[in-house]
Each structure stands twice: as structure tokens, then as C-alpha cells.
Amino acid sequence: MAGKLVQVATETVTSAVSSVTLTGIDSDDVYMVAISNMEIDTDNKFMEYRFTVSGTADSTSNYDYAFKELRADSSFDDVSSTNANAGSLDNIGTATGESSNYILYLYNFNNSSEYSFITQEGSARSSAGNLRARQGGCVLTVAQACDGISFGRFFDSGTNIDSGTFTLYRIV
């Protein structure tokens, strides 16, 4: 992926919020989201994401995703779902030192004739020092233009993002 990154939106979380939304996708370029040092306030919960349409998260059950999860503390896992209401990041907890980092590439988001999809790779560290990594992707099986992405815990309420930096870039 040659080119340079142009920052479109960024948010740094320093106190608990239920979600983070990054918008500003307005071209057919590939976009990238970098998430660094994300920490949450509820143990063993998966963080999720939804694509946004006109700034509002699409909550339909049209997300299909699949990942390979590499684990230092156990065997590797295959994680997948069809017709989910959100895509999935890694599960992390509340102890000191537990955090996740991700890179997501966003494709076809501005194209109303194609499905929007992402590829993602990330890593997480648990309080026991166990390391995990995920590689995979997600597609929203609706042909519509999307203008961003929202991160949070959508399946059940009560989980907040305590800290992290979320940045959306356009690749030119």
C-alpha cells in the first residue's frame, strides 16, 4: 500500500465513553484506522465496530466477519460470524496493562454500488502477560455509501472505552 496518509479525524479518549465515532470518508480512496492503547472498563468483553451512514452507525444484522486468532497462552482460534449486528475486535479486560492496538483498512466505503469491507490486524495483552493477535476482515453486505466507523460495545450496554487514540486516515 504505497502512498501517504492524510489525517481525516482523530479522537483521544482519556475518560470513559460508550463509543468513539470517526467520520469524514468522502472519496473512493482506501482509508485506514489506527487504534493505539485501547483499554476498556469491563473484563473479557469484545470491542465491536459498525460502519456509519450519514454519521449514524448501521445496526442492521448484515456484518460477516472471520479471523484467525494467534494466542501465546493456548492454541490458535478461528473466529467468525455471519449476519451479526457489528464487526469484532479483540476481548480485553480491566487490569493494568491490558490493552489492544489495531490497524484497519477500509475499502469501498464511499461507493454506494458495492459492499463496504475492511481488513484488520491487531494485538492485545492480558493482565497475565499473555499476548494475542488477530488477522481477518469484515464485510457489510449492503450496497450503500458509508462515511465512517464507530467503535463500542453494541451487543450489550455497560462497557466503556476508558482510553485510547483512534485516528482515521485517507491513503493518497
pTM of the model: 0.92
Regions of the chain short of the pLDDT cut 70 = 1-2, 43-44, 91-96, 127-129, 156
Dihedral of CA atoms 161, 50, 65, 114 in degrees, nearest 10, equals -150
Grid cell for residue 57: 452507525
Q: How many domains does the chain have?
A: 1
Q: How many CB atoms lie within 10 A of CB 154?
A: 20
- For residues 35 and 105, give the distance between their C-alpha atoms in angstroms, rounded to a whole number: 12
Q: What is the pLDDT of residue 130?
A: 77
Q: What is the pLDDT of residue 167?
A: 98
Q: What is the pLDDT of residue 73?
A: 80
Beta strands 56-57 and 63-71 are unpaired
* Number of alpha helices (DSSP H) and beta strands (DSSP E) in the chain: 0, 13
Q: What is the pLDDT of residue 168?
A: 98
Q: Which domain holds residue 52?
A: 5-171
